[in-house]
Structures are given as structure tokens and as C-alpha cells.
Amino acid sequence: MVDSAVRRWFTAAVLIASLSEPAVRGQQTDQLNKGCSQYNATDATDFSRRLNSSFADLRNQLLLSHRQNNISKHFATTGPPVYAMVQCRNYLSAADCVACYDAAVAAIRSCSSANGGRVIFDGCFLRYESNNFYDQTTLPGNLAICSNRTALQRVPFNATVEQLLNELQTATPKIDGFFAATKRVVSGGSSGGAAAYAVAQCAETISKSGCQDCLAVAHKNIQGCLGKSAEGRAVDAACFLRYSDTPFFAEDHVTNLEPFLGIGSSGKKKKAIIIGCVVGGMGLVLVFGVVFLLYQRSNKPEATKRGNISGTTELRGPETYRFKDLKAATKDFCEENKLGEGGFGGVYKGVLRSGDVVAVKKLAMISSRAKADFDSEVKLITNVHHRNLIRLLGCSSKGEDLLLVYEYMANGSLDKYLYGEKRGTLNWKQRFDIIFGTARGLAYLHDQFHVCIIHRDIKSSNILLDNSFQPKIADFGLARLLPENQSHLSTRFAGTLGYTAPEYAIHGHLSEKVDTYSFGVVVLEIVSGRRSGNVQSDPENEYLLKQYGPVKQAFNKPNMKAVASKSLESKAFVNLNASYFCLHLRCI
């Protein structure tokens, strides 16, 4: 339900142009998708000047690159930044790429003083923002675009296209430049010479895994065109997928996908080599394997039983980092690099040898359960993947020192923006995006993972914000798996007062409703800008539910303004945001 609401939210802001019949021409400037930010730049005149400078810089880079695959990015070195990117399909010539870019610039200028915009043509895409979006892979609201033509040989054509799309999804992330074009004759049809054409492309600024994720979404969306349309496209923030029954790229741009699929002659040769090596070296493998196992058994300490994972299958482990590398990355866990202190230890900013910035959690050995908690978090987070859940990159341990390595969130935790040093800097759209994103993450933990996961400690300080202020739920150290055959667990209390449901805090009755209750408290914090569970005697900071209790009495227009954050009080809160306060009421 949350995802459908989010999809409608963004779809209303995105203008999707209707497709004309496919045209095989050089520039390929059929407009597929266009969107403008709902927010204007703070200084429209200055931002427009910098944007024009960025557009000119991009064009110069395209002219000088002389590449068929053209990609450029630019941001101002002084004043408010402008991030911009253009990328053409590889099958365009340099001249056609520049022409497509010029058409995109003309189209995107209708965004006027908006602080962000994007336009996607068949041959290229252009985007600009006031914040860094280069590693963004997907956006809500991007659906497939289907033509109104049907293929002459629908059944064999659809089967051929589906095979091409599957191969493109697998091969494209493995190809240098993230681009592939393919063609295949339709088999089993009555008309000779009929063929299917398809391309896939990802932005070169994203990672291989980001390309895989984006194409997976695009492939799912484009399924809506198969069976009814002879041509379909799927566009997203960082990828493009298209198929057609007519050619839209030259024959010399067809990519050989076999080396990236593990099939064909190269795959057979590799298979033969592997079989030969396995057979020839079997004796050595057995000998060294036995010796290694005996050595490991003699040196392995007694294993600590896992206390937080129950009723589930064995989970795969994460990447293991060297302890000394993480120690060097965090400057020996110095206070200067400390990002915060959690219930299980401190979190430090670290810079790896590769230049990647990470967050390193150093677990405190305060109880006999610390190792079990460490194993639980490592095993659990490694197998949970969602855009609104913090990603675990790896772990390390040395003696009693236990380390977890996470992706780094530059904007830190939500609590700083609600009642900390950055209080009042979040606008209403950002606050609603945080509510939606947190709800998506919890929905995944409760309903979409293969078992129900209860976080147990949902609070503002455990919600981190990325560069685009999108939320990611963190700190799974208290997470507990709920077996499918049980509706609740009875367990000792572990959480934060002020956020915890009464049935859990008092009776230890644990179910996914505990997280729902905590989420409701966080929603109230987001709309009010006040902290829940503050033990200070200041009436302004007493328990939120007590301060607004009985809560339902506040749910009327005269009192709604009293609930809103003082830094963002406005008539719009009363008129537009009553439903979000209603969401809070339903959660508690």
C-alpha cells in the first residue's frame, strides 16, 4: 500500500510523452520521459546562470570527446553546486549525439527555475540536480512505455524478445561501458526474415551491482509490453531497456553476448579446462583439504551459540576485512572520526585504501551475548537487501574486538534534523519521503523477506539519511527473526523507552506490531519536530504521547498546528498533512 502511494506521488510529478511510431533516424529524439523538480532554486537567477554554464560545458565535452558513447558531468566549484549529466546510446554517431543533446537541453529548459530536471529521448538522456545523483539507480514512477503496434508473429516474437531481454539483463552489467545491442531472427514464424532487436544501457557513473538492480526493475516493468506491443521501452534513473520488431541501430553495433553469458565455444573451453583441472588435481585437493580441516579444528575456539536467529535456513556470510586495515581506516578509532554511540558500541568514519568511505561499528564486549549479537547482525544484514535498509559491506574480528562495516551515510541520522543541531532544515516533502521510505523498509522486513524480521528498536537515531535525504533503517543488532508458525515471541526487553509498545516493554510480548508502534512515534516526531522519551524535566521535551494525550484529541484542524514542527508551521500542514497524523494514530 505504501509503495502504491509513493508510485502515485511521483507519477503525478513526471510527464510521460506519448510515443510516435518508431523512426530509424540518427538523432532519435522521440521524447520518452520528462520531469521537473517541485522545488525552485533558492536563488533562481544565480542557479540559472550556473546551469547554463554547465550545459555549455557538457556540450564542449561532447564535441571534444569524439566518442560514440558520450558521458559528461559538471558541478560548480564555487557557490551552489549544479550536477549535470548527459549520456548517448552507443549506436549514435558523435554528431547525432550532440544533436540529441541540443534537443534535450531545449526540452529541459521548460523546467524553468526548478532545482532539478531530467529528459529522456530514445537516443540520449539529460539530467541536472542541485545534489549529487550520479550513483542513483532507480526512481519510483518509472513504468514501461509501449507502442500501439502489434507484432505480426506475436507468439514466436514474444518468445524471442524475452530471451533477448534475459540475456541483456545478465550480460550488460559485465560489459565495459554498460551497453549492449543484440538482434535475433524470430524462429518458428511463417514470415521469413522477421527479427527482434533490443538494447540495454546503464549510466557509467553507477556500479556493476547498481546496473544489475536497475535493469532488473526495467525488465520487470517492460513485461507489461510483451504480448501486446511490437515495441517497448523501460526507462529509469540510471538505465534504459528497449526492444522492437524494426531495426533502430546499425548491424555493426550488435554486441556478442556469449562471452558474458558463459555459453558458446569460450564457455565450452572453460568447462573442459575446469574438468581437466578437477580430475588431475583431485588427489592434491583431498590431501590439502584434510590437512587444512585438521588444522582448523585444532585451532578453532569453542563456537558461541547464536541467540538471535531461529526458525530459518542457514544464511550466507559477508565479506571479511582485515582488522588492521579497518584500524588504519578509522585512524585507530579516534574521537575525531567518531560518528556516534549506539547501544552496542561506537560508530566511526573510515576511509579504505581504495578511497571508499565506510562506517565502522565497534561492538562493546559488555556481556556474554556480545559475540552472539555480532553473529546475529552479520548473518542477518548480509542477506537483507532493500533501498531503505542500511547495507552491510563486511565484518572483522580480533579477539574481543568485533567490527561491522556499513555503507557510509553522509547526512547522518534523522534525529539531528528533528531536534538536534540541524533542527528545522528538513522541508515537508523531505519529511514525507522519510516517512514513506521508512515504511517501505519495515514492510520489507515484516512481509517481503523470507521470514518476518522484527527490528525492536525503531527510533529516529536508527534512521540514517543518504545524500538525497532518503532514509535507511540501521542498527539490526537487536533484530529478531519471528518463526513463521508463531504470531509472537516472549523475550526479555531490548529497545528504547519512549518508542516501545507497552505490551513489549511490560510483558515482553514481541510481534511485528512492536515496530509498527515505534514507527508511529517516529512519525509524530517527524511532523512535530519534538523528541520522544526525553528524560529532562522541561515540559517542552516530555514524552510526546503524554504531551499530546489523549492523542486523538489533537486530530482536528484547530489543534493540528500545535502538533506541527514550530520551524515549519504553515497552513499547508493543516490542509495537506492530516493524513500523516492519522497514520501515526493508526500505528499506536
Active site positions, annotated: 457
Beta strand pairing call for 480-482 and 471-473: unpaired
Residues 401/362, Cβ–Cβ less than 8 Å: yes
Q: What is the CA radius of gyration of the chain?
A: 27
List for the chain the helix, strand, coil content (%; round to 5): 40, 20, 40
Q: How many DSSP H helices and E strands does the chain contain? A: 17, 23
Which helix (H) or strand (E) segment is 125 a member of?
A: strand 124-129
Measured CA to CA, the distance from residue 168 to residue 171 in angstroms comes to 5
Task: Tell the residue number behind the cell numbers 513526471, with chain if given.
Answer: 14
499-514 burial, b for 16+ CB within 10 Å, e for fewer?
Answer: bbbeebbeeebbbbbb
User: CB atoms < 10 A from the CB of 536, how many?
Assistant: 9
Residues 6+ apart with CB under 8 A from 390: 381, 406, 407, 409, 464, 472, 473, 474, 475, 476
Query: Taking CA 268 as the corner, what is the angle to CA 267 and CA 272, rounded to the nearest 5 degrees?
Result: 120
Q: Give the residue among 260, 201, 187, 207 at the shortest CA–CA distance from 233.
A: 201
DSSP annotation of 447: I
- What is the DSSP track for 255-267? ---GGGTT-HHHH
- Name the region of 444 (left: φ>0; alpha: ψ -120 to 50; beta: rest): alpha
Residues 317/382, Cβ–Cβ less than 8 Å: yes
Does the annotation place 220 within a ligand binding site? no
Q: Give the residue among 237, 144, 233 at the shortest CA–CA distance from 197.
A: 233
What residues form the annotated binding site for ATP? Answer: 362
What residues form the annotated binding site? Answer: 362
